[in-house]
Amino acid sequence: MAPILEIDNLTVSFDGFKALNELNFSMEEGELRTIIGPNGAGKTTFLDVITGKVQPTEGEVRFKGRNLKSLSEDKIARFGVGRKFQTPRVYLNLTPRENLEIACNRNKNVFASLFKPVSSGEKLTVKGLLETIGLVAKSEIKAGLLSHGEKQWLEIGMLVAQSPDLLLVDEPVAGLTDEETVLTGDLLLSLAQSHSIVVIEHDMEFVRQIATTVTVLHQGSRLCEGSMDDVQNDPRVIEVYLGEKPTISDRQMKMLRIVSSMAWADGSIAPEEAEVILSRLSGLFAEDAEQQQHLREELRNYLAQDVSIEN
């Protein structure tokens, strides 16, 4: 099968700073590709350059074999690239069904699509979409009353309604509950059966749920690529994620590392015990749940390397 998206030697400079730096990337039609990378790695810029929001400084982006150079955002969208932003952009005063009907008719304006009778084909499409995104029971309430997660699903549905050839999804589970996160993963997996999708995400558990091939970006380049297991065990990836700014002071981090290395020292610790130790330590040093999780991950990565107390 031909690649749907090919990126050759792509550099994007902002006043000399290279947000993307000689990046090479390729994905096949029908693939679900997950892109991860620490803050500032260039993930959002990557999407911006595919959608035409940002122009390459050097290199080339080819979509369905065509160079996107100097095509407007609008043209690229009509050519089949659909992007889901982090914040949902749905019409809050309309119902999910009405939102989807408008999305099916994106060439017409909102009012025209509202007052025009909906064709039976469209009705079927909308019905199918409501089922896919799990909003059948809420199809007739105002979208403003939906939860954050439900709004995200509605927007994904609206994107799909426009039948793009490539779906770009930026951090779909930021701010969602655990349950909504799992459901979002299920939704993307079901869409992946018939779509090419790029998902950018920070939440590792979520990435593990959906990922087949993961691309790791770092400083604007591709650091590595492979299955979730491959990339998670890649020392370069561990290094890069360790290099992220710690949520606690250097002194505290040093102390924590010594204590956790000591706990690990005899090497006979069971994984469950290890998790308990990490949780307790993180709980002592970080205030809120998110920081604690971040710290837990930092320590886990640190201890995954062969460490001794001396360093």
User: How many chain residues are in contact with ligand ADP, going by CB under 6 A?
Assistant: 11
Q: How far apart are CA 176 and CA 186, in angstroms?
A: 14
Counting contacts by CB under 6 A, is residue 39 touching ligand ADP? yes
Please tell me the distance from the alpha carbon of residue 169 to that of residue 84, in angstroms, as a whole number.
5
Residue 226's DSSP bridge partners are: 214
Cα maximum dimension of the chain: 74
- Minimum CB distance to ligand ADP, residue 2 (Å): 27
Does 44 bind Mg ion (CB under 5 A)? Our answer is yes
Q: Is 202 in the site for Mg ion (CB under 5 A)?
A: no
Nearer to Mg ion, 43 or 84 (CB): 43
DSSP line for 95-112 = -HHHHHHHHHTTTS-HHH
Residue nearest to Mg ion (CB): 44
**Beta sheet of 3-14, edge-to-edge order:** 17-28, 3-14, 58-63, 66-67
* CB 188 within 8 Å of CB 159: no
Round to whole Å and give the CA distance between 197 and 117: 32
Q: Which stretch binds ligand ADP (CB under 6 A): 34-42, 154-162, 205-213, 290-298?
A: 34-42
Rounded to a whole number of angstroms, the minimum distance from the CB of residue 218 to ligand ADP is 9
Per-residue string for binding with ligand ADP, 40-59, x by CB under 6 A?
xxxxxx--------------
Stretch that binds Mg ion, among 44-52, 103-111, 279-287, 298-306 (CB under 5 A): 44-52
E strand intervals along 185-289: 196-200, 213-218, 221-226
Nearer to ligand ADP among residue 181 and residue 221 (C-beta) = 221
By CB under 5 A, is residue 174 in contact with Mg ion? no
Q: Which stretch binds ligand ADP (CB under 6 A): 12-20, 95-103, 258-266, 286-294?
A: 12-20
> Would you give the distance in Å from CA 134 to the centre of its chain?
20
Q: Which of residues 24-43 bind Mg ion (CB under 5 A)?
A: 43
- Cα 201 to chain centroid, rounded: 3
Nearer to Mg ion, 39 or 120 (CB): 39
Minimum CB–partner distance for residue 12 and ligand ADP (Å):
8
Cβ atoms 61, 54 nearer than 8 A: no
Phi/psi of residue 198, each to 5°? -110, 125
Determine contact, residues 156/199, Cβ cutoff 8 Å.
no
115 binds, among ligand ADP, Mg ion, none (CB under 5 to 8 A by kind): none
Q: Which is nearer to ligand ADP, 161 or 223 (CB)?
A: 223
Residues within the interface to Mg ion (CB under 5 A)? 43-44
Residues within the interface to ligand ADP (CB under 6 A)? 14, 17, 19, 37, 39-45
